[in-house]
Amino acid sequence: MRIGELAARTGVSVRSLRYYEEQGLLTSLRSPSGHRRYAEDQVERIRLIQRLFSAGLSSRTIVDLLPCIDSPAEETSAAALERMRQERDRLDRHIEDLIRTRAELDDLIAANRAHQRQLARA
């Protein structure tokens, strides 16, 4: 499929797809006229890349993990596993921060509601 179709099917801009390719996250073949052509399995790969980006992983980190995802091998799996653990730990810390922030917002909302009730009574 061509880059425009891939963009439409994944909801990712053509510019982003070109960036993914420049970063080594995505591969394409070139037609005789020089147009990029993508295999069907690239749709799912882009969805995975998008999820990893959403989780806060950098393109460099994703590039480091892709060989283990694409073709796990003993020589790459130990390093990839450690990198995945580091990223998971980072995500855990981020989630804990988000939970604390949500609790603080809940407290502020409760205080604001109490204040609003007091004003209504006055």
Helices (H) and strands (E) in the chain, counts: 5, 2
Q: Is the confidence at residue 34, as pLDDT, over 90?
A: no
Which residues lie below 8 Å from residue 16, measured CB to CB, with a gap of 6+? 7
Given a contact cutoff of 8 angstroms between Cβ atoms, the answer to whether 63 and 25 are in contact is yes
Report the range of poorest mean pLDDT among 5-19, 48-62, 63-77: 63-77
CATH of domain 3-120: 1.10.1660.10
The residue that leads in pLDDT, 57 or 112, is 112
How far, in Å, CA of 106 to CA of 118, rounded? 18
The predicted structure's pLDDT at residue 64: 83
The Cα–Cα gap between 21 and 27 comes to 6
Radius of gyration of the chain (CA): 22
Whole-model pTM: value is 0.69
Which residues are CB-neighbours of 115 under 8 A, at least 6 positions away? Answer: none
Task: Give the model's pLDDT for residue 76.
Answer: 67
Q: How far is residue 16's CA from residue 53's CA, in Å, rounded to a whole number? A: 12
Structure confidence by residue, pLDDT tens digits, 61-119:
898 888 777 776 677 677 778 888 888 898 899 999 999 999 999 999 999 999 999 99
